[in-house]
Amino acid sequence: MQSALAKAVALILSADAELCNILSVTAKMSISSSLIALILGVPIGIWLGSSRFRGQSILLIINRTLMGMPPVVCGLIFYMLFSGVGPFGKWKWLFSVRIMILAQVVLILPIVVGNMETYVTGIAQTVKETAKGLGLSGWKTFFLLMNECVYQICSTYLLAFARSIAEVGAVSMVGGAIAWKTNVMTTAIMQYTNRGNFSLGIALGLILMTISLVVNILISVMQRRINR
């Protein structure tokens, strides 16, 4: 046990090639998917939170349901869609980083939307009334609302990133955890543990926990700013 830990630290310090590859695939996947989800989700969330229209509550219920979608179900759906017999089979996306990003976006997007919607709902009415009372234009009001959301957007991004980096069910199904190609930290930990190679697993676990710690510290700083 102790020697495994020592080896893990040694692997990190020596910048082991396979470890570095896993880290870079992980970074590529989680940064891309969380950014895409943020770019799509923030406007949708602000829109849902700041307007009233017919069918809105149904959209919110659907979003809440998607927020709780089990990752393996998401993995299953994309596996079927992109497998040889599926409608998108000829794209040959299965077991690539690309489809891992896609699956992750589908998992994270509802979280981004829900997170923004909840926040915006709380302030939109007052912001809009105040802006209208000052005779400000619709665009100016929208930018003001965006400005009010800056910290919320940052903390939502961090949350999305944290979800993405820690997710295992969907990415292992559609990515296949292929070494040097689609293996990310979480899937690699599973793999190495199954093979009895604990030290690489521990090394990855340590890194993952450290990232999670940093992200959560940042989130709590953001949250404190939001709560004024």
Partner 1 sequence: MKINAFSKTYEGRKVLDMPEMELTSGKIYAVIGANGSGKSTLAKCLAGILTTDQKQQILSPDISVGYMPQKSYAFRMNVEKNIFLGSKDLIRAKKLMKDLQIEHLAKKSAAKLSGGETARMALGRVLMKTFDLLILDEPTAAMDMETTSLTENLLMEYCRETGCVLLLVTHSLQQARRVADEVFFYYKGKLVESGKKEHVLYSPEMEETQKFLKFYGE
Among 31, 44, 77, 136, binds partner 1 (CB under 8 A): 136
Among 12, 111, 127, 177, binds partner 1 (CB under 8 A): 127
Nearest to 170 by CA among 40, 64, 18, 29: 29
Binding of partner 1 at residue 222 (CB under 8 A)?
no
Among 52, 54, 90, 228, binds partner 1 (CB under 8 A): 228
Binding of partner 1 at residue 51 (CB under 8 A)?
no
Helix (H) or strand (E) holding 216: helix 198-226
CB atoms within 10 A of CB 176: 17
CB atoms within 10 A of CB 11: 19
| Min dist. Cβ of residue 142 to partner 1 (A) | 13
Q: Which is nearer to partner 1, 127 or 160 (CB)?
A: 127
CB 127 within 8 A of CB 28: no
- Identity of the residue numbered 100: M
| Min dist. Cβ of residue 144 to partner 1 (A) | 6
Q: Which is nearer to partner 1, 73 or 150 (CB)?
A: 150
Binding of partner 1 at residue 148 (CB under 8 A)?
yes
- What contacts 11, CB < 8 A, 6 or more positions away? 19, 199, 200, 203
- Identity of the residue numbered 31: I
- The footprint of partner 1 (CB under 8 A) covers 126-130, 132-136, 144, 147-148, 150, 228
